């Protein structure tokens, strides 16, 4: 019998194409994941990524009938079936905390992004999961400048959802190192501001100990300056979610990575609170 644990985010644990369950550290309960990137393709390559055989590219076209059938089947199993018993989910975690569009790559790269967001929202509302649970998009934010992505964010907002926007570094050097992207800090910040105009947005920041160097003063100060900029712009960003790696990376840099000590995370969280933001820390 399978068992859901926070250190296992397997996309095929229930044998479905698009839908998978996760016991989320950050959500503190059952997160229903939606994976558009069934081809393991992403436009970034984060050094801590746990996706196997990751390739550079976009999500394939969605089979909307399969997505609908799977989501209906899975919600029925969780709400009215024996899902929690079969997967040995602890009683205190037997609650749907969120539906999270995430998966094995950048979800906003799918062509019919807004239509997919609407379909998921409609079905989840029909089952009574929304608005009682959260509706989340986990994104690297790199495509927010595209009209089709902004349209999807506005649909997400209509369902009371929120964007978890990846912002691992506030320097060009840090973005290149952590995310293997050529997108500049300036462009990334502009996309963040655009996202927050379309939908409530939280920053999702993964901090790692790379080559034993810890969190540099340069990176810390740059991130705090970013928060000052956000405050001055009246961006709809009120929370920062700090976390570090909990599972081994499947990228070439894996041997050079270690979790950042919780003491450093908590110290940085205090600095962020002083900047006027709510902070959560997950280890």
In a domain, 60, yes or no: yes
Quickly list H helices, 89-171.
113-126, 147-158
Q: What percent of the chain has pLDDT over 90?
A: 86
In a domain, 4, yes or no: no
In a domain, 14, yes or no: no
In a domain, 8, yes or no: no
Selection from 195, 168, 40, 29 nearest residue 103 by Cα? 40
In a domain, 257, yes or no: yes
In a domain, 7, yes or no: no
- Domain region containing 46: 19-282
Contact assessment for residue 237 and residue 199, using Cβ atoms and an 8 Å cutoff: no
In a domain, 1, yes or no: no
Contact assessment for residue 46 and residue 168, using Cβ atoms and an 8 Å cutoff: yes
In a domain, 71, yes or no: yes
Do you know the residue count of the chain?
283
How many domains, the chain? 1
- Show the low-confidence residues of the chain (pLDDT under 50): 1, 3-11
Tell me, what's the pLDDT at 152? 98
What pTM was estimated for this model as a whole? 0.92
pLDDT digits (tens, 9 = 90+) for 84-139: 999 888 888 899 999 999 989 999 999 999 999 999 999 999 999 999 999 999 99
Which residues make Cβ contacts (< 8 Å) with residue 42, sequence separation at least 6?
A: 49, 51, 54, 55, 56, 57, 104, 105, 106, 109, 140
Tell me, what's the pLDDT at 12? 53
CATH number of the domain within which 253 lies = 3.20.20.70
């Amino acid at each position: 019998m399978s068992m859901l644990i926070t250190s296992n985010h397997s996309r095929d644990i229930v044998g479905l194409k698009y839908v998978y369950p996760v016991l989320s550290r950050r959500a503190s309960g059952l997160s229903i994941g939606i994976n558009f990137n069934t081809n393991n393709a992403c436009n970034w390559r984060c050094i801590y990524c746990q996706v196997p055989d990751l390739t550079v590219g976009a999500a394939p076209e969605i089979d909307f009938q399969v997505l609908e059938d799977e989501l209906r089947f899975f919600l029925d199993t969780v709400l009215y079936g024996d899902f929690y018993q079969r997967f040995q989910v602890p009683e205190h975690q037997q609650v749907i905390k969120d539906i999270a569009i995430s998966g094995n790559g950048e979800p906003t790269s799918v062509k019919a992004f807004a239509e997919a967001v609407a379909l998921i929202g409609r079905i989840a509302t029909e089952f009574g999961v929304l608005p009682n649970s959260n509706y989340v998009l986990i994104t690297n934010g790199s495509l927010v400048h595209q009209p089709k992505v902004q349209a999807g964010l506005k649909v997400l907002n209509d369902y009371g959802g929120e964007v978890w926007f990846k912002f691992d570094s506030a320097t060009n050097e840090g973005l290149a190192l952590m995310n293997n992207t050529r997108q500049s800090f300036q462009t990334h910040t502009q996309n963040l501001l655009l996202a927050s105009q379309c939908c409530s947005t939280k920053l999702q920041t993964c901090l790692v100990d790379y080559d034993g160097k810890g969190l540099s003063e340069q990176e810390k100060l740059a991130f705090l300056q970013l928060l000052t900029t956000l405050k001055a712009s009246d961006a709809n960003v009120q929370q920062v979610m700090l976390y570090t790696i909990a599972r081994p990376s499947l990228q070439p840099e894996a041997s050079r990575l270690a979790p950042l000590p919780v003491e450093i995370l908590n110290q940085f969280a205090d600095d962020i609170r002083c900047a006027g933001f709510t902070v959560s820390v997950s280890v």
